[in-house]
Chain A
Amino acid sequence: MPLLRRLLTSALVVVAASALCVCAALASARPLVTKGHHPRLAIVHRELAPVIKLAPGDSAQRTLELRYRGGGRFAAVVLRVKGLRHSLLGSGSTALRLKIERCSTKWTRNRRMRTYGCRGRHWVVLGTVAIGSRRPFRLRRLSARAGRTDHLRLTLGLPLRAGNEAEHRLSRLVYTFTGAAR
């Protein structure tokens, strides 16, 4: 009799554990199955115009359209910049600086000044940061909602204190935007 009770208890435990595991599997698999119900990030023009002949004190502005497809919204979006790990442009006082702003409408290009202006509402998404490290930067004030597009302006700058050692350097920067649903 005690043996039977123990067997029943063990079976109950196994069944309960199995049920929980099945629930877990269903819960984590659901986003993959119903992909369209979750937001996805996309950039239309992934190849930005190159920045050449940069000198200390110079800045370069580039724009990109960050689109949110699918459904729902992202709770957070982070940016990682790769390509400067072994470059002098990514270390110390000579490290490139990056600032990201968002405009509620498309950025308007000023060809003469080589800058972009905003005719709508304007937000700072990422304050000026040195982009030498690989740490992710949390982006703020994005719409992050499916069906929307964020018009972003990236401003790169080489600090004035960068000396002759920063001359004639070439790097390929990769900006990776990652959104987390929750």
Chain B
Amino acid sequence: MTTPFQGRGAGLRLPTKTSMRHFTSGSTMPKLIASLAVLGAAAAIAGLGTYATFTSSTSASHTIATGTLSLTSGPTNRLGTGASLVAAGDSMQRAIDLNYAGSISFGSTTLTTSASPSSALDTDATDGLHVVIDKCSVAWTESGPPYTYTCGGSTSTVLASSPVIGSNAALSNLTLTAGSTDHLRVTVTLPSTAGNSLQNLSSTIAYTFTGVQRAGTNQ
């Protein structure tokens, strides 16, 4: 006969089993988590599949090239030829070809001159040297030296008479079209009003032609 106490007594072994159950229960947790992870991963894959993006592409192409802007001189260029023993009232003529050699046309061209060495010949804006530039529709016909030029076509004024030293003087009546050439004649004059103070002086003048591209356009 088992007394209740004994029964309880026998039941006293239960805690041992309970502790074993607890141990067993502890090893189930990782498996449960692993199972949940598997289910979660599968659900994620399913979700990605459901929201997969379908795309389509097509393309077009073309080449794009920028042009060039080039201002050169020649073949005629007598600007490097100096003049000596110049007296008041004298003038010197020199020819230069200006080429618009790039693939882009110009919008404008300016002239900047400087002197080094310098003297009153170029610093005296009233009685010092003055410059005039003309253009001929064909190449100038040269004679000399001393050089003089005549035009077999039509002439136009590129720069009206102005002191020989200037900065960014605007030149007009130029062709400016890519691939074309302007035939210019530069005439430098010592005015007849030049006094004795301008005797026995020397200046070297540098001419710089600067061109700017045409305005933007549709290509």
- Nearest chain B CB to A78's CB is how many angstroms away? 10
Pick out which of these stretches binds chain A: B51-59, B134-142, B163-171, B202-210. Answer: B51-59
A43 to chain B, nearest CB (A): 5
**Pair A24/B103 contact, Cβ less than 8 Å:** no
Tell me which of B38, B62, B68 contacts A168 (CB under 8 A).
B68
Are A53 and B67 in contact, with the CB atoms below 8 A? yes
Size of chain A's interface in residues, with CB distance under 8 A?
A: 73
Q: Is residue B60 contacting chain A, with contact meaning CB distance below 8 A? A: yes
| A:41-60 near B, CB below 8 Å | 41-43, 45-60
Contact between chains at B57 and A41 (CB < 8 Å)? yes
| B65 touching A181, Cβ below 8 Å | no
Q: In the complex, what residues of B have CB within 8 A of residue A114's CB?
A: 217-219
Q: Any chain A CB within 8 A of the CB of B125?
A: no
Measured CB to CB, the residues of A under 8 A from B are 2, 6, 9-10, 13-14, 16-18, 20-21, 23-28, 31, 38-43, 45-62, 64, 66, 70, 74, 83, 89, 96, 113-115, 156, 158, 160, 164, 166-182
B59→A52 contact, CB < 8 A: no
Count class of interface residues, chain B: 35 or more
Contacts of B65 in A (CB 8 A): 50-54, 168-171
Determine the chain A residues whose CB is within 8 A of the CB of B59 once the complex forms: 43, 46, 174-177
Residues of B within 8 A of A (CB): 24, 31, 35, 38-39, 41-43, 45-69, 102-104, 213-219
Given known contacts A13-B35, A58-B216, A58-B217, A31 and B52 CB-to-CB distance under 8 angstroms: yes
Instruction: Please judge, given known A-B contacts A13-B35, A172-B62, whether A54 and B219 are in contact too, CB under 8 Å.
Output: yes
> B57 contacts A54, CB within 8 Å?
no
Taking a contact as CB atoms closer than 8 A, the residue among B31, B42, B50, B64 that contacts A21 in the complex is B42
Selected from A9, A40, A182, the residue in CB contact (under 8 A) with B56 is A40
